[in-house]
């Protein structure tokens, strides 16, 4: 059996209880060493075989898993954040299915949620944005043309941009070309929830400069949108004059 587990965004206590139990019971752990907090490995039981996938190919990862399976061992494949976001798990799952190996997935706290916590922000503010766009700049990994940043920026929705800290000049230009005003609030969150977490506020236009001045080149998320601003409408859910399934509007408001 193979368990894909989301390790969470960084802080060792932000993995799920289920993820922790699976780690503690694993015979083999293959973890994404470039971003997973090594603290998680302290949970491994004695004799557990531990592999860092940072220097491995897909084929090498699958070979380790197949060998474990042949010996009747349980493997945890530990991914950063939530495995469904830029986790490259589909290609692993497909090869496991082909080999007749069973697997399941345990979610994790994605770094975009860790970043919101660092910012103490709400991505979906009434009357500001009710949509979060998770995307990245095209780099060595291409992005479908229909999803280019300028096209997504035209919505002026909240954006959480992964894997793009090294491309902030073109990112900033594309965001503005797409529709965001130069002074739209933006933030860079470096290593959200890690002890070395840092948060920088600026605008769409100043993103490259902020990163340069603070030597931020990787392990950061770019957050863009007016959710970082000051104006929004109150929610309907907690509005005294609003009736819903669980609460009647108060008499004075009817």
Give contact residues for ligand SAH (rule: CB under 6 A). Answer: 9-10, 35, 79-82, 85-87, 110-111, 114-115, 162-163, 189, 191-194, 219-221
Greatest distance between any 2 Cα atoms in the chain: 70
Question: Residue 166 has which token pair?
Answer: 């090294």
- If the CB atoms of residues 32 and 68 are measured against ligand SAH, the closer one turns out to be 32
User: Rounded to the nearest whole angstrom, what is the least distance from the CB of residue 10 to ligand SAH in the complex?
Assistant: 4
Q: How far is the CB of 210 from ligand SAH (least distance, A)?
A: 15
Cβ 11 to ligand SAH shortest distance, Å? 9
Which CB atom, from 69 or from 82, has the smaller least distance to ligand SAH?
Answer: 82
Of 162 and 180, CB closest to ligand SAH:
162
Q: Which is nearer to ligand SAH, 62 or 220 (CB)?
A: 220
CB of 163 to ligand SAH, least distance (A): 4
Residue 68 or 136 having the CB closest to ligand SAH = 136
Q: Least distance in Å: CB of 36 to ligand SAH?
A: 9
Please state, in angstroms and rounded to a whole number, the distance separating the CA atoms of residues 116 and 157.
15
Min CB(131)–ligand SAH separation in Å: 18
Minimum distance from CB of 103 to ligand SAH (Å)? 17
- Residue 40 or 79: the one with the smaller Cβ distance to ligand SAH is 79
> In whole angstroms, what is the distance from residue 187 CA to residue 210 CA?
9
Q: Which is nearer to ligand SAH, 69 or 227 (CB)?
A: 227
**156/250 Cα distance (integer angstroms):** 35
DSSP per-residue letters across the chain:
-EEEEE-BSS-GGGS-HHHHHHHHH-SEEEE-TTTS-GGGGGGSPTT-EEEEGGG--HHHHHHHHHHHHHTT--EEEEESB-TTSS---HHHHHHHHHTT--EEEE----HHHHHHHHHT--S--TTT-S-EEEEE--SSS---GGG-HHHHHTT--EEEEES-GGGHHHHHHHHHHHT--TT-EEEEEESTTSTT-EEEEEETTTHHHHHHHTT--SSEEEEESGGGSS--PPPSTT-TT--BTTBPPPGGG-
């Amino acid at each position: 059996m193979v368990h894909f587990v989301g390790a969470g965004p960084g802080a060792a206590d932000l993995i799920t209880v289920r993820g922790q139990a699976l780690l503690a019971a694993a015979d083999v752990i293959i973890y994404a060493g470039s971003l997973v907090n090594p603290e998680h490995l302290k949970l491994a039981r004695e004799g557990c075989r531990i592999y860092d996938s940072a220097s491995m190919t897909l084929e090498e990862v699958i070979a380790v898993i197949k060998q474990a399976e042949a010996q009747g061992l349980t493997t945890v494949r530990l991914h950063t954040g939530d495995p469904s976001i830029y986790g490259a798990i589909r290609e692993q799952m497909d090869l496991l299915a082909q080999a007749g190996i069973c697997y399941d997935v345990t979610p994790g706290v994605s770094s975009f949620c860790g970043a919101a916590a660092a910012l103490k922000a709400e991505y979906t503010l009434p009357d500001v944005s009710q949509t979060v766009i998770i995307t990245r700049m095209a780099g060595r990994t291409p992005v479908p043309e229909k999803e280019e940043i300028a096209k997504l920026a035209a919505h002026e929705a909240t954006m959480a941009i992964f894997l793009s800290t090294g491309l902030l000049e073109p990112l900033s230009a594309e965001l503005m070309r797409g529709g965001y005003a130069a002074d739209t609030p933006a933030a860079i969150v470096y290593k959200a929830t890690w002890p070395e977490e840092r948060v920088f506020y600026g605008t769409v236009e100043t993103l490259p400069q902020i990163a340069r001045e603070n030597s931020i080149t990787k392990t950061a998320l770019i957050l863009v949108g007016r959710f970082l601003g000051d104006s929004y409408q109150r929610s309907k859910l907690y509005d005294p004059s609003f009736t819903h399934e669980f609460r009647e509007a108060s008499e004075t408001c009817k």
